[in-house]
Amino acid sequence: MIAEIKLLSPYRHHQKTLQNPIHCVGIGLHSGQKVHLSLKPAAVGTGVVFRRTDVTDKNNEIPALYTHVSDTRLNSCISNEEGVSVSTIEHLMAALAGFGITNVIVEVDAPEVPVMDGSAEDYVTLIRCAGIVPQNAPLKAIKILKEVSVTDDKGVSVSLSPAEFGLSIDFMIDFPQSKAIGRQEYSITLSERTFADSVAYARTFGFAQEVEMLQSMGLARGGSLDNAVVVDGDCVLNKEGLRSENEFVVHKTLDAIGDLYQLGMPIIGRFSGIKSGHAHTNQLLRRLIADKTAYEIVDLDAYEESLLSRKYKTA
Ligand SMILES: [Zn+2]
């Protein structure tokens, strides 16, 4: 591995994996039970693959791809052909996207990823502690060539449109029924630094009545003020309050980053989300891939080189 790294220039785009395996324990949002999570280095071309170590009698691996998303009502849940599933993957996926981890095996011993504090901060710490290494393989990206969108009659919309470099995200939410949230907007260009410093901290949120209803249905048993911001009317019930005034819209941005990473490669484009959720982003990815004229797969190094030489010529 060391010989391989020496050959790689730090300025090139390579696939990346973790330097060392790393482990943590947390609570499952739905079960309220302990879940063990391990992140393990993986070979070139593996992608992000979840593995259910508690399932031993059938295929227990599920690729973290939009085509495997089976439920988006409360969070992003992925399943394989044998019906083995893992839910609440989006916050971990967002951290993997933020750090550009291409290849990793994510082991859990339960049907859900531990919710930690409802944000991606613990995953950021895990990835940093494990370390990141480039691999001897070029990185491909999906470049958006024309706008693709999904809208509904309630004013919800999501779109992906062309951009020259990287992935930019614009998000808007509007909760007129709660002064604690109200209307919030947020924009960011994704990088390791912007993700870790400005997005990872934002916790998931819900309304007190919803939490009560879910718990009466036997769902969200692990949900508490320790892993979510809970809003009751115009008030935030968490004693410590919010981590920022716009924590709600920043969390929605975090969710979108995680869901978009289910394309299996980074995006060169601009995402816009208006009052949208996991289901809309998944529909958007399906619509994008169904339209072959809306995107192209590029070698990121070659693409950026051609972009720079074109700029240089016109300067
Ligand atoms: Zn979330």
pLDDT given for residue 9 in this prediction: 56
Contact 30, 221 (CB under 8 A): yes
- CA–centroid distance, 47 to ligand 1, in Å, is 22
CA 156 – CA 148 distance, rounded (Å) = 14
SS3 282: helix
pLDDT digits (tens, 9 = 90+) for 246-273: 999 999 999 999 999 999 999 999 999 9
Domain ranges for the chain: 12-314
Report which of 60, 105, 108, 48 is spatially closest to residue 84, judged by C-alpha positions: 60
- CA–centroid distance, 311 to ligand 1, in Å, is 39
pLDDT given for residue 2 in this prediction: 45
CA 278 – CA 218 distance, rounded (Å) = 22
The CATH superfamily of 12-314 is lpxc deacetylase, domain 2 (3.30.1700.10)
Catalytic residues: 278
- CA–centroid distance, 3 to ligand 1, in Å, is 39
- CA–centroid distance, 308 to ligand 1, in Å, is 36
β-strand pairing of 157-161 with 148-151? antiparallel
SS3 291: coil
Stated pTM of the model: 0.94
Helical segments of 133-261, H only: 192-194, 208-216, 247-260
- CA–centroid distance, 127 to ligand 1, in Å, is 19
pLDDT given for residue 73 in this prediction: 74
Contact 133, 18 (CB under 8 A): yes
pLDDT digits (tens, 9 = 90+) for 90-116: 999 999 999 999 999 999 999 999 999
pLDDT given for residue 5 in this prediction: 45
- The DSSP string of 96-107 is HHHTT--SEEEE
Helix, strand and coil percent figures for the chain, each rounded to 5 = 30, 30, 40
- Tally Cβ neighbours within 10 Å of residue 167: 24
- CA–centroid distance, 9 to ligand 1, in Å, is 35
pLDDT given for residue 75 in this prediction: 77
- CA–centroid distance, 252 to ligand 1, in Å, is 7
All residue ranges of the chain with pLDDT < 50 are 1-7
- Tally Cβ neighbours within 10 Å of residue 154: 7
CA 271 – CA 269 distance, rounded (Å) = 7
- CA–centroid distance, 96 to ligand 1, in Å, is 14
